[in-house]
Each structure stands twice: as C-alpha cells, then as structure tokens.
Chain A
Amino acid sequence: MSNVHVQVTPEQAAKDERFLEAREQKGTERYIVRHSKQARITHGVTIIACILLCVTGLFVFVPPLSQAVGADVVFVIRMAHRVIGVVFVAVPLVSAIMAPKGVAHIFKNLFAKWDADDKKWMILFFPYLFMAKWIHMPDQSEVKSGQRFADGMLWFAGALMGVTGVVMLLGSTVFDLDGGVYAVMLLLHDIGFFLVAVFGMAHIFLGAGIFQPYRGTHRLMFGDGLVSESDALYHWGHWAREEIASGKNVIEK
C-alpha cells in the first residue's frame, strides 16, 4: 500500500478512531487461517524430500562430485535418491486423495483469471525485488499473480520430475525401458531439476522470509499456518479484507 494517506469523512475518521481504541483495549491481534495442518505437513514432507532429492541427484548430475566420493558412495546415494523419490511422489498423492477439495482449491487459484492488479503486480515485481523499500505493490487475491506463476512452475517441475523419475525407476527395475525413451526421460528429468533449482531457490528466498519484506512468512507453512492481519493486508490485500469482513477464518489472540 502507498504511504500517501487517503482523506475520509469526519464520521468515518471517528469510527476508525473508535475501532483503534477498541482494538487497543482488547490487547489482541487478528490472524487469518492461511494453511491447514494437512497442507503444512504435506508441504513440509515434500520440501524435505525435494531438497534431499536435489542433493542426492547432484552426485550424478555434477561429474566432479560423483568422482570425488567414488562409485560405492554414489551407488548408495542413488539408491537413497530412489527411496526419497517414492516419498516425494507418494506423499502429495495420498494427501490429494485425502483432501480433493483442497487440491481443487489450489488449482482454482493457480488458474484464476488475472485482474488489473494482478497484471500490474507482475509488471512491478522485478523492480520491487530490487527496490522494495520504495515500491508499494497493488493488492492481491489469495494467491499473488507472480506466486501463481512460480507455484505453477514448481507444480509442473515437481510433476515432471515425479513422472520421469518413476518411469526411469520402473524402466531399470521392473521392465526394460528402450534406450531412446530412457534418454528422453533423463533429459526431461534434468529440465525438471533446472526448473526446481531456479524456482525452488526463489520460493525459499521469499517463502522462508529471507527477503526482508517477506519476514515471518515461514510461519505460514512451518508454523501454525496463521498470517497476521497486517502481513495479510500487505501481501494479499483483497483476500485479507474479504476474510476479515466475513470473519470466518479470523482468530484473535
């Protein structure tokens, strides 16, 4: 939000003053429920599996690493990569089966139509990353436009890694995969890793609150799943106002 303040009528100003006084007397703050416990657990397990998969995968992807630790260690790492890969694929699938409405909600948000604020937010995003102290961003719905794009890429890359990984795993154990098909799977797996590496780092930078304007966002997935009223208004203004007005998912503490 801009720091240019808005003129309101004296009646409104009086109401706002009473609102602030009442709030101060209560001594509580409002929080909005952002992520369910199941979503947080699924995200947590998946992200740990993803990081471990990236690390173990590097021992095959980066030749000097592979050669530094030797064939026996790499073999163990490769087997670990397969086991962790099963967790990476299975946990989100099980979670999705347990909460199909949640999955529908995620994808509804991912493919939501972009309004004027969404487009403007996306245009301003890169300047904002370097000039966050000065640029205020337009309000956003439940999932920011850039977040939709980045999360969508992570979903896509994760699915690509999962599918190609399972095909390669089965193709070298259960059945004999044709060499040409295996080569294509390997290339797609590498492309998936490229996307996960780039978008994953950006996701961690913002989502874990390493970027100062995003401080505290790690609590949304690794804490209690609640977002403070102030942070919600800053990050997802349209969504926050809607939630606060309805009061359905608002907690005071």
Chain B
Amino acid sequence: MAEKAILFDTSRCTGCHACQIACKCWNNLPSPTGLNENKFSGTHQNPPDLNGQTRLIMTYHESEGTLPTKTVQWAFGRRACQHCTDAPCASICPAGAICKDEATGMVTTDNSKCVACQYCSTACPFDVPRYDGVQGTINKCTGCVDRIEQGMPPACVTTCQPEALAFGDRDEMLAEAEKRLEMLKQRGYENAVIYGAEEMGGLHVIQVLKYGVEAHGQVANPTVSPVTTLTNLMKPVTGVVSGVTVLGLAAMFGLAAGYKRDKVVYNAETEDTISLITGDVVKHGDGQDTTSVKDHILENLPGKKGGDHE
C-alpha cells in the first residue's frame, strides 16, 4: 500500500463541524449533552480545544476583512494529529502504544498498550495528544487506519460535504494540493501555501491554507523540541554509562581480591599510629602527607622499596 494522506483545503471548508462529529461517531467518543453543560468559551470552536474525548476540532480564526463586502474574514482550520513522518510522540512512547503504521504512514495508537505516562503530550510540536481520564489512556487521531485497511477513507473525510477533505495516496494528495494552490494564487490569495509537504519529515495531513500558516492557526516550522531529543538520548547514554560502571566495578573487585591490611591502633599520648601485627609505628602525629603522588603509586609495588603491601 502506498503512503496515504488526508488533504484539507481550507478554501472549501464551510466550518460545519461535520468532520468533528463523524470522528466522534466512528470512534465512539461521547460529548457532554446536558443542558448548558458546554460553557460558551467566546469562540465558535466547540470544545475550545482538543480533549481526552475529542480528537479533532474545527478552528475558527476571525480577523478584519480586507474587502468592503467582507468586513469579517474567517480562516477555518483543522486541529488534530498531523501524522508526522518523524513522529516524536512515537519515538518517546515507552510502551509502544503510539506507532507508525508502516503501510499508510499514519501515526496510530493502541490503547491496550498505553501506560498513561503522557510523554507523547510533552513531545508533540502541535500539542495534540490528550489524556482521557475516564479510559486512563492517551487519545489522538489514529488516521482511521481501521477504516483504511478495509478500503474506506477516514470518517472525517467521508462526511465532508463541500469536499474540503479528500483522501488518497500522499503523492496524489500533494499533486492535488498544488493544483488548488495555483488556483488560489490566480484568484489573488497571495499568502496561500501548502502545509505538510516537508514539515516534520512530511506530514500525512496535507493542508492548503488560503490565508497563510499563522492565519489558520498552524505551527510555523514545527520541529522536535531539543528537550525531547535529549530525553530520548538519555536512555542509551544511561544504559551505556551504567554498563561501563558495572564493568569497572567488577574489574576493581577482581583486582582487589585477596586484599589484606594490618590492624592499626593510635596511641594518643605519643601520637603514634602503630601496626598491631608488627608493632612498628607507621605514622607519627597527624600531619599532612608528604609523599609524592608518584611515590604513593610506586612505593609498594613488588620489587620497589617497601615491597609488597600485602
């Protein structure tokens, strides 16, 4: 199977929320339905952001219009997993609960493996994965890999009436995005861009952003946080250094096998430290050591002055 992608053309989106509802229906994700249970948050986005039971939301970016006939400009957006090729959520997940679907390129989840550490939430440059406190697992768009395997497009795509969403081979979706971008440019939308072709090694949600990246609430130049890179690095570094430490300690243990030393006592009256075995004074007083480092190392070696220490 060739790499797949969802194409989202913002110029065709009517902000109807159908994709959001289809996602909830297919994935059996409930919404609060009680009277006034959804508090107005000052935006048409509902809920205002992703949460443990909402994998996809439509975003509404309102600004002043540039035309006399359009005093308000709406830039609709899609906020969900972008299915990165270099997915940091998958690389940081200790449980293997988030992984890339090799056949499609989608970043999918296996809730049965999720240990709820939420490391993926810290690693995502798009701030997408959300913890579902009810299920005790992480929740994010899976790309509807279950549907794709059965030859169906993702649920959100199926329901999109104005055909703002499309699904197919990633190459085809990119080619289609180029065509639509060209059309928008011809119509005078100079800020229009394609988003997802190169970002994070190539996303599997390709977007045609009519008013530019920021206008649609997308992250400009998303990158893996250096903190996430370092966190991933800590595992092998700790493993290697710990292993070397164990080997070093084992060597020290082996080399010191059979070590013996004379018992000593201290006569405070004469300030002499005396060997109980030989009766010799091994140190007088409590002054600082005067032997050089080299002599410390060499003086007791077999064949040197002082002879073997044992």
A residues neighboring B (CB under 8 Å): 1-8, 12-13, 15-17, 19-20, 23, 30, 60-63, 66-67, 70-71, 74-75, 78, 115-117, 120, 123-124, 127, 129-139, 172, 179-180, 182-184, 186-187, 190-191, 193-194, 197-198, 201-202, 205, 210-213, 229-230, 233-234, 237-238, 240-242, 244-245
Contact = CB atoms under 8 A, between A and B. Distances in A.
B266 to A, nearest CB: 5
14 contacts: A4-B282, A4-B305, A6-B272, A16-B272, A63-B93, A70-B113, A124-B293, A124-B296, A136-B300, A190-B231, A190-B238, A205-B253, A212-B257, A237-B286
B255 A8 contact: no
Interface stretch (B6-14, B100-108, B115-123, B143-151): B115-123
Interface string B232-256: 0011011001100110110111011
Interface in B270-301: 270-276, 278-284, 286, 288-289, 291, 293, 296-297, 299-301
A75 B282 contact: no
Interface in B107-133: 112-119, 121-124, 127, 131
A134 B301 contact: yes
A202 B300 CA distance: 26
Which of the four size classes fits the interface of chain B?
A: 35 or more
Given A5-B282, A172-B118, A186 B253 contact: no
Contacts of B282: 1-6
B62 to A, nearest CB: 26
B268 A179 contact: no
Interface of B: 93-97, 112-119, 121-124, 127, 131, 136, 225, 227-228, 230-231, 234-235, 237-238, 241-242, 245-246, 248-249, 251-253, 255-259, 261-276, 278-284, 286, 288-289, 291, 293, 296-297, 299-302, 305-310
Contacts of B252: 129-130, 132, 205, 211
